[in-house]
Structure 1
Amino acid sequence: MGELHCGFLPRHLPSLLLFVSAVFGPSLGTELSFVTCGSVVKLLNLKHNVRLHSHDVRYGSGSGQQSVTGVTAVEDSNSYWSVRGTSDAFCFRGTPVKCGQTIRLTHVNTGRNLHSHYFTSPLSSNQEVSAFGEEGEGDHLDEWTVQCGGSVWKREEAVRFRHKATDALLSVTGEQYGRPIHGQREVHAMSGPSQHSLWKAMEGVFMKPSENPAGSQDHSHPHTEF
């Protein structure tokens, strides 16, 4: 499974994840103590105990783009996000994500990127967070900087995600939606750091670093970015 080449997001990836779980179990890559490029993870908001989630349901106001929420369910496949580089900086498969590095988080089941802009979020009137793009391609508003305390993003560490373009932090403050997504929490972005903006990597498939002496930067294979 370390040989996934994903400069694009194949539509069969959800089935592939199920195959990985069935064959290898939840222990695949669990010996890694850090998050790597190409990993597919769930992100838990530590304050509200909800996982970052999306689905093919659009906001009825604001941008009208695909909604992003927080859910308490642990096993929902709509909470998987792939860790990718930006259009300007590749994130080579298996490379540890550095503190201060800018990444994209792409929703596995729909191929849209975690996104923000100056639209107002529907419940709390903070900054809207949505999922945007097609097949993993979007724009510069999909870029988030990982804020953590050391040199790399450690899996046991609480981290923050700062939206590069607007300088706001990915957050949850507890507001709940009604139908058709009853009980799901609003995810939005806020200007200041707080307990509401702390996240931790949880379940997923963590790609191991390359065993090649030159690392994973093999330019003869241009699609090594996930």
Structure 2
Amino acid sequence: MYISLISVLSFILPFVQSREGRDVSCGSVIKLLNLAHKVRLHSHDVKYGSGSGQQSVTGVSTSEDVNSHWVVKGVNEKEVCSRGEPIECGEKIRLEHLTTKKNLHSHHFSSPLSSDQEVSCFGDGGVGDSGDIWKVMCEGQFWNRDDKVMLKHQDTGAYLATSGQTFGRPISGQYEIVGRFGPDAYTDWRVQEGIYIHKSDFNPIKSSGSHDEL
């Protein structure tokens, strides 16, 4: 019987544990929880009815939704980060939506509910533009899974946030995700469920006889 990769990830992601510490690394698949409203960063093939008309980005309260998976990637196709390399605080990254292959994006459009800055998903097959680049704002040397993090948009300087407002149909109850011009309680995030890639995952010589499989 055929089982899609998304279905497998949905089942196992909450149980996958890092073998090499708690750092978020390039190539990892993560979920991000907004600490103010306890919702996970989410997207789906539903476009905004106003503003840019691009693919919408929302926050959802459920932890099992397959549309809340994001792949940590380098700045662009030429400036790729090394797979398994820990992401440094201050480093610039892209977040590619696993299901639709579009990048987390922002630009100078007003968000539909609060009129903050719109956050959308943009691009094709993970290829977009400079509006997909976010700076990782955290304390210490590396982005640690246990610590809060802020994501600052390179082009506009806005911080990824929740507005606190929720949509009606067709995405009833989902939270509006926006860019806010300054850190506050709504710009704090923390990594939750995920598959975390580490350098030794690509080492053909294993010190023990066991390995992890999907």
Distance between the aligned counterparts of 1:23 and 1:48, measured in 2?
25
Distance in 2 of aligned mates of 1:210 and 1:78 = 28
Q: Distance in 1 between matches of 2:14 and 2:87?
A: 24
- Offset of 1:173 from its aligned partner? 2.2
Contact 1:32 1:206 in 2 (8 A): no
Aligned to 2:206: none
Q: Return the match for 2:121 from 109, 113, 131.
A: 131
Amino acid of the residue matched to residue 147 of structure 1? M
Aligned to 1:184: 174
SS in 2 for 1:196: helix
* C-alpha spacing 1:125/1:199, structure 2 compared with 1 (3 Å): same
Asked if residue 117 in structure 1 is aligned to residue 107 in structure 2, the reply is yes
Structure 1 Cα separation of the partners of residues 43 and 12 of structure 2 = 26
CA drift of 1:15 comes to: 3.0
Distance in 2, matches of 1:155 and 1:142, equals: 22
- The CA RMSD over aligned residues, in Å, is 2.0
CA contact (8 A) 1:69 1:184 kept: yes
How many pairs are equivalent?
200
Unpaired segments ≥5 residues, structure 1: 1-13, 214-226
Contact 2:136 2:151 (C-alpha < 8 Å) held by counterparts: yes
The secondary structure found in structure 2 opposite 1:188 is strand
Distance of aligned partners of 1:25 and 1:105 in 2 relative to their CA distance in 1, 3 Å threshold: closer
For 1:165, give the aligned amino acid. Answer: D
* Residue 196 (structure 1) shift: 0.1
> Aligned ranges for residues 39-54 of structure 1 at < 5 Å?
39-54=28-43
Distance 1:28 1:206 in 2: 8
User: 1:120-159 counterparts in 2 under 5 A?
Assistant: 120-159=110-149
Partner residue of 1:224? none
User: Which one of the candidate residues 59, 64, 80 is aligned to 2:53?
Assistant: 64
1:154-208 deviations in whole A, cap 9, x for unaligned? 0000000000010000000210000000000000001110010000010010001
- How high is the TM-score relative to the length of structure 1? 0.83
Corresponding residue number in structure 2 for 1:83: 72
1:139 & 1:24 partners in 2: Cα distance?
29
Secondary structure, aligned partner of 1:141: helix
Identical pairs, percent: 50
Aligned amino acid, residue 75 of structure 2:
T
1:32 shift after superposition: 2.9
Q: For 2:15, what is the secondary structure of its paired residue?
A: coil
Structure 2 residue corresponding to 1:97, chosen from 87, 98, 113: 87
Deviation, 1:30, is 5.9
Structure 2: gaps of 5 or more residues = 204-214
What CA distance in whole angstroms lies between the structure 2 residues aligned with 1:205 and 1:55?
20
Cα distance, 1:26 vs. partner?
1.4
Query: Would the alpha carbon gap of residues 60 and 93 (structure 1) be closer, same or farther in structure 2, given more than 3 Å must change?
Result: same
